[in-house]
Homo-oligomer: A and B are copies of this chain.
Amino acid sequence: MTKKNKYNIQFRIWFFAGNEKLLGIGRVELLEKIKETGSIANAAKLMKMSYRQAWQMVTEMNERSNKPLVEKQLGGKSGGGTIVTQAGLKVIDEFNKMKNKVKVFINEESKKIKL
């Protein structure tokens, strides 16, 4: 049998707030890491990105969302930190649900493609 004569299909989804891109898989993962670690700095390390980049992403998301997705706290003995809000958790959840649904759908539909 020669090369498999079929395509596999990849996809990405994004949530938009109005006509502004709010987030995609990368930023959702960042939010998840922030949730786990309690800070942008630690989340950035896990994501192997610079703090600066992570901070910019978070700031942009918060500006574009009608409700803040994270709350940042300055100062304190531990220097501060960042927590994901209820709205943020909701977005993470809805994003992942939608992503999984689309994945299943596309997998099913792929089977139907002849050739």
| A-to-B contact residues, CB < 8 Å | 2-5, 7-18, 21-22, 66-67, 90-91, 94, 98, 101-102, 105-106, 109-110, 113, 115
The binding surface of chain A is classed by DSSP as mixed
A110 and B16 alpha carbons, distance in the complex (Å): 12
A12 touches which one: B2, B12, B115 (CB < 8 A)?
B12
Contact B7 A16 (CB under 8 A): yes
Contact A14 B11 (CB under 8 A): yes
Given contacts A2-B66, A3-B66, A13-B106, 5 further A-B contacts (CB under 8 A): A9-B16, A11-B11, A94-B113, A98-B113, A102-B105
A-B contact pairs, 30 of them (CB 8 A): A2-B66, A4-B66, A5-B66, A7-B16, A7-B17, A7-B22, A7-B91, A7-B94, A8-B18, A9-B13, A9-B14, A9-B98, A10-B13, A10-B14, A10-B16, A10-B21, A11-B11, A11-B12, A11-B14, A11-B102, A12-B12, A13-B106, A90-B115, A94-B113, A94-B115, A101-B105, A102-B102, A102-B105, A102-B109, A105-B105
